[in-house]
Structure 1
Amino acid sequence: MPLSPSQIAQAVSLVEQGMTHREVATILNVPRSSMQYALKRYQQTGLCTRRPGSGGVRCTSARDDRFIVLETLRNRFLTAVEIQQRLQISRNVNVSERTVRRRMEEVNLRARRPARGPQLLPQHRAARLQFAREHANWSHEQWARVLFTDECRIALNAPDGRQRVWRRKGERYLAITTTPTVSFDGGSIMIWGGVSSDARTELVIVNNALTATRYIEDILQEHVVPFGGFIGYDQFILMHDNARPHVAHIVNEYLQEVGIQKLQWPARSPDLNPIEHIWDKLKRTIKTASNPPQTLSQLRDADEDELDIKNVIQSMPDRMQAVIRARGGNTRY
């Protein structure tokens, strides 16, 4: 533990007054060995400051360091090599890629995987912000009236981006460290489902392209309308996104005819729909099962067996606040 120049000066003064090294170390609250080393250096040099070290000279100046940091902050997707080249062109300073990385690490900038989210144009951000402000004060009881619905495609061999492999240098393409790929992810199925605070609908397997007519006949009539009767049409609110089959005129007319209120949903807002977490949990549960499905028929059976919904509706007030803090931008949800 190195002592500061003021501590060294104080230690010298106390020793000259006749105090022992142990007493001085106790007063300064420093290790006795560190204090003795500092006093010995003072006797040799007559200085309270450290002698110049023998390490290498820093190859960048303070202005060079600021240039590296500012270039990184202006464009977060630049690589260390690109910043190195810009530094050489702009300031005629030639450093290694590792030096650039060290300068960024000094200000706590490290390369990490970017978060993924839908592209939000100004009109999308404005709509999301308005929606969040309008529903920021909704209580849990009000959110409990909403049936959150969505479609999800589940593939047999789709990568989830979470898998990692332990390997040594030079083992990248060994059979035991390589993930095999299959054309079209081995096949997939489209499912529809809905969840509220107290219950969920049955899963509907969409075998063909979902049209507005099929959406009414196979989903709304068979599942949403009975669910609305269970909750009560005077309180029930349907949430579905802005996919074309959902916003077709015949769908809106049908919902008005049966008396189902629809929640006006902002476009490109999957982070506001709690059912997305349920789809993610379903995919991970199927993927990590002891006997994962190998065929589409097995995948259909697994979807019905593995869906275990927890109450995620309680997070809706927090989601609204997160959108407001992001001023309509993407959130961690």
Structure 2
Amino acid sequence: MLPVSTIRNIIVKYKKHGFIADLPRPGRPPLADRRPQSLVVREVLRSRKISSAALAQMLHEHHQITVSEETVRQILHHAGLHGRAARKKSYISAVNKKKRLDYAKKHVNLTLEQWKNVHFTDESKFNVGASDGRVYVWRRASEEYLPDCLVPTFKSGVKVGMVLGWITHDGVGVLHVCKENVTADYYKFMLEDNLPQTMANLSLNS
């Protein structure tokens, strides 16, 4: 049995329109009838940094499909793709990637006791009073570290805040604030200058 309110609405609709079928929906037809979804997703997977405005323009110019930027975003969200700030990763050349992989394979069987004798060092850049700016990419939750969802960072000759740090099994070492650009000679100087103090602070044997 239909509720009284439903029967009342049917009577009102019949008196107003002369029929009780569903009225045509206002506005544009559903996107499923306009086939932009696959085009938008395919373009984003080829160019992760493209904007919704550029995607809407691409649809209009190359496929004669007119949609708003908001509609483009809805399509991408429906496909699980969301605009996220890209993770920054230091650029590694193909040669250095191979060197790192070779190093990992060579030492893969080291025991924990052996690794305790290894000290890792690295330098890091910090901008002073400025920012490199954020880059946004379209990605799914599981794609955070895909190469095309990352922003490579490059070492440059620009003088900015630079530090050298240590990490060992027993703790962190002395943090060295670099006074100049890090060259091979300066890197050697930093190691020689900071290693004894780090060893002493952590009570490590030389």
Say whether the fold is shared (TM-score over 0.5). yes
Choose the corresponding residue for 1:224, options 185, 191, 195. Answer: 195
How many residue pairs end up in the alignment?
Answer: 164
Take 1:53 and 1:143, find their aligned partners in 2: how far apart are those partners? 73
Partners of 2:34 and 2:113 in 1: CA distance: 57
Three-state SS of the structure 2 residue aligned to 1:111 is: strand
Say yes or no: does 1:192 pair with 2:188: no
Q: Which of 100, 117, 126 is residue 128 of structure 1 equivalent to?
A: 100
Runs of 5+ unmatched residues, structure 1: 1-20, 22-35, 45-50, 163-186, 234-333
TM-score calculated relative to the size of structure 1 = 0.39
Q: Which aligned pairs between 1:1-333 and structure 2 lie closer than 5 A?
A: 52=22, 54-56=24-26, 57-59=29-31, 61=33, 63-154=35-126, 157-159=129-131, 190-209=162-181, 212-213=184-185, 215-216=187-188, 218-225=189-196, 231-232=204-205
Q: 1:118-168: per-residue Cα shift (whole Å, max 9, x none)?
A: 334433443333334444444443332221223345565345979xxxxxx
**Scaled by the length of structure 2, what TM-score is found?**
0.58
Whether contact under 8 Å (1:68, 1:83) holds in the other structure is yes
Structure 1 contact 80–101 (Cα < 8 Å) conserved = yes
The alpha-carbon deviation at position 106 of structure 1 amounts to: 1.5
> CA deviation digits over 1:215-270, x for unaligned, max 9?
54x5343432575696445xxxxxxxxxxxxxxxxxxxxxxxxxxxxxxxxxxxxx
Is residue 164–residue 177 contact of structure 2 (8 Å, CA) maintained in 1? yes
* Distance in 2 of aligned mates of 1:59 and 1:152: 48
Give secondary structure in 1 for the equivalent of 2:85: coil
Question: Contact between 2:124 and 2:162, CA under 8 Å: does it hold in 1?
Answer: yes
Q: If each structure's helix is expressed as a fraction of its own residues, which one has the higher value?
A: 1
Q: CA offsets per residue over residues 8-27 of structure 1, 9 Å max, x none?
A: xxxxxxxxxxxxx8xxxxxx
Distance 1:71 1:83 in 2: 8
List runs of 5+ in structure 2 lacking aligned partners.
11-20, 135-158
Change (3 A) 1:215 1:83: closer
AA matched with 1:88: H
SS in 2 for 1:83: helix
* 3-state SS in 2 of match to 1:93: coil
Q: 2:34·2:65 contact (CA, 8 Å) conserved in 1?
A: no
Q: Distance in 1 between matches of 2:161 and 2:36?
A: 54
Indicate the structure (1 or 2) with the bigger Cα radius of gyration: 1
Quickly say closer, same or farther: Cα 1:232–1:62, change in 2 above 3 A: farther
Percentage of matched positions with identical amino acids:
25
By percentage of residues, which structure has more strand? 2
In 2, Cα distance between the equivalents of 1:116 and 1:211? 23
For the aligned residue pairs, the C-alpha RMSD in angstroms reads: 3.8
